[in-house]
Amino acid sequence: MPKRAESSLDARGLAGLLERQAGVVSRQQLLDLGASRADVRRLLARRELSTVHPGVYVDHTGRPTRAQREWAAVLACAPAALHRESALDAHGMTCDRDTPRDRATVHVLVSRERRLVPPAGVTIERVADMSRWVQHNRRPARARFEYALLKAASLRREADAVALLSDAVQQGLTTASRLLEVLGALSRLPGRAGLGEILEDVAAGTRSVLERRYLRDVERAHGLPEGTRQERQDSASGVVVRDVRYEPERTLVELDGAFGHRDAVDRWSDLQRDLEAAVDDHITLRPGWAQVLEPCRLAVVVASVLQHRGWTGRSRHCGPTCTIDDGGAPDPTYRPDAPQRPR
């Protein structure tokens, strides 16, 4: 029987590479470490490696972890980088609103001129000037955070997109100003105009867009009574300005346009304003972007409060996608987590 040739595989180098890549290695990397094709076949036969994608292996025979699937996708499509939700995950963002289906797919970014068919469980997006948007020094390579975030947000309903951006700001991973800077370079991004006006409002610390959206999409569209706006009132702590006041129903709507955690001083100020309103027998509602961007759902809440406090009118159906029935009540078939068409 012929003697088996001595392997020239750098075993120590392979061990280090597997450690750095979460136990994942490509066929090309094995060859670069001195492995022969026979070495690769032997590692697979001994079950020291198992196939994840064609030409990409993991160092066990069980189910690959999320990190291993991300590494495998990047190596299978190399040169490539994690993108969208996969990049957000790699950057350390917690996406509580993601569904299991969202996380089952690995998203990668490749150069526009590439023509490849992604393996199962992997989606690709092609981009010109890939180096502009990718951090090649991270392991695995990943799209820059703001780019991946805006791309992920662009495929969601406006309310869900703003919730995703707000989560990122709240977790300290970016700012509205940085997002605006990147958005300026993405002229073809779906939903760019709407996201831009919201981010401009947040970056400037104003609420003008939020206030217009509430007036147009919540109050007027659903037949709610017209509130008094920006009313100045004397109080024990000085002059306060109320965003919206429904005087006959003794109800205030204070619109919260912030993304993420506001500082303690703002919260104490809110509490003081609410206390003074309660002394005057007013109830205070504090909707933010997430609520105003689901206007039908918010209209039900505001209408219910106003009706309990004396309003004799009824909210109305605003259009074909409205979640309020013709009688002013919530549509019993409405599910807030169901996909809806953008307004």
Residue pLDDT, tens place only, 194-225: 999 999 988 887 778 899 999 999 999 999 99
Same domain, 190 and 86: yes
Looking at residue 241, what is its pLDDT? 80
Closest CA to 286 of 257, 253, 251, 263: 253
Is 342 contained in some domain?
no
Is 313 contained in some domain?
no
Strand order in the sheet with 24-26: 24-26, 56-58, 50-53
CB < 8 Å & 24+ apart, contacts of 93-98: 93/145, 93/149, 93/167, 93/168, 93/171, 93/173, 94/167, 94/171, 95/164, 95/167, 96/167, 97/160, 97/163, 97/164, 97/167
Same domain, 196 and 218: no
Percentage of the chain surpassing pLDDT 70? Answer: 83
Looking at residue 275, what is its pLDDT? 55
Model confidence over 273-317: pLDDT tens digits?
A: 555 655 568 888 988 888 899 999 999 999 999 999 999 999 999
Domain boundary among 204, 229, 254: 204
Mean of pLDDT values over 104-123: 95
Looking at residue 327, what is its pLDDT? 60
Expressed as residue numbers, the domain containing 50 is: 11-58
Is 327 contained in some domain?
no
Same domain, 105 and 195: yes
pLDDT at 26 over 90: yes
Is 340 contained in some domain?
no
Looking at residue 328, what is its pLDDT? 61
Same domain, 178 and 229: no
The confidence band for 264, taking pLDDT boundaries of 50, 70 and 90, is very low
Model confidence over 27-83: pLDDT tens digits?
A: 999 999 999 999 999 999 999 999 999 999 999 999 999 999 999 999 999 999 999
The confidence band for 236, taking pLDDT boundaries of 50, 70 and 90, is low
Same domain, 84 and 191: yes
Is 285 contained in some domain?
yes
Percentage of the chain surpassing pLDDT 90? Answer: 64
Total number of domains constituting the chain:
3
pLDDT at 1 over 50: no
Closest CA to 322 of 291, 293, 343, 292: 343
Looking at residue 208, what is its pLDDT? 85
Q: How many CB atoms lie within 10 A of CB 315?
A: 27
**Is 298:273 a contact under the CB 8 Å cutoff?**
no
Model confidence over 160-189: pLDDT tens digits?
A: 898 899 889 989 999 999 999 999 999 999
Mean of pLDDT values over 4-8: 71
Same domain, 72 and 29: no
Is 337 contained in some domain?
no
Q: How many CB atoms lie within 10 A of CB 220?
A: 12
Looking at residue 334, what is its pLDDT? 45
pLDDT at 330 over 70: no
Residue 147 has phi, psi (to 5 degrees) of -65, -50
Mean pLDDT over each residue of the chain, to the nearest integer: 86
Same domain, 73 and 194: yes
Same domain, 298 and 232: yes
Looking at residue 272, what is its pLDDT? 55
Same domain, 24 and 41: yes
Same domain, 84 and 48: no
Looking at residue 274, what is its pLDDT? 55
Same domain, 84 and 34: no
Question: Using CA atoms, how far apart are residues 282 and 250, in angstroms rounded to an integer?
Answer: 5
pLDDT at 267 over 80: no
Domain boundary among 178, 204, 230: 204
Same domain, 90 and 131: yes
The confidence band for 268, taking pLDDT boundaries of 50, 70 and 90, is very low
